[in-house]
Amino acid sequence: MILYIHGFRTTPNSFKAQTLKTHYGDNIIISNHPIIPQEAIEYLENIIKKEKIKTIIASSLGGFYATYLAQKYHLKTVLINPSVEPYKSLGRYLGVNSKDNGEEFVWKKEYMQVLERFKIDKIDKKRFFLFLQTGDEILDYRIAEKFYSGSKLILEEEGNHRFQGFERFYGEVDEFFNS
């Protein structure tokens, strides 16, 4: 069973989540985790335990959560333009924000401090398959490239934060999960 962890201002209704659901069908759970980091981790851990999750696909802030969870639960993980330091990069979103479905939420400074508690300093490189596009308008791809150095990597020129055309790589993702 695969767990998909969406990013900061997205929901299970995002294009990427729906595309993954179409491809993987009943073999994927699309998370609908809370915005508060501690609650999000607890929610995701419960899914991992209850559903016997073996693999994760995650993007952006979801990639940060997935890195913590992959290390803790020894899971193979695919990361799409992941956030490596959200406790730094999410400062520009303090205050009221909107998710992709229009729902508003408040992002607080203390949430960023909580995120730092889930920081992983050293990863098991063979657990991760990283997808980066240099045109990511939200995050500097080089930070993830450096942090996950030595992990399996697909790096494409241009693109965007959503990783345009990710569905082209389902074969490689499946191969990674089955290896």
Helix axes 37-51, 109-116, angle to 10 degrees: 50
Q: Do 8 and 63 meet the contact criterion of CB atoms below 8 Å apart?
A: no
Q: Do 76 and 127 meet the contact criterion of CB atoms below 8 Å apart?
A: yes
Q: Domains in the chain, ordered, with CATH?
A: 2-178 (3.40.50.1820)
Q: What is the largest CA-CA distance in the chain?
A: 43
What φ, ψ does residue 53 adopt, rounded to 5°? Answer: -65, 135
Per-residue pLDDT of the chain (179 residues; tens, 9 = 90+): 999 999 999 999 999 999 999 999 999 999 999 999 999 999 999 999 999 999 999 999 999 999 999 999 999 999 999 999 999 999 999 999 999 999 999 999 999 999 999 999 999 999 999 999 999 999 999 999 999 999 999 999 999 998 999 999 999 999 999 99
Residue 123: name the closest of 161, 174, 84 by CA.
Answer: 84
Residue 176: name the closest of 25, 92, 91, 70 by CA.
Answer: 70
Residue 8 pLDDT: 96
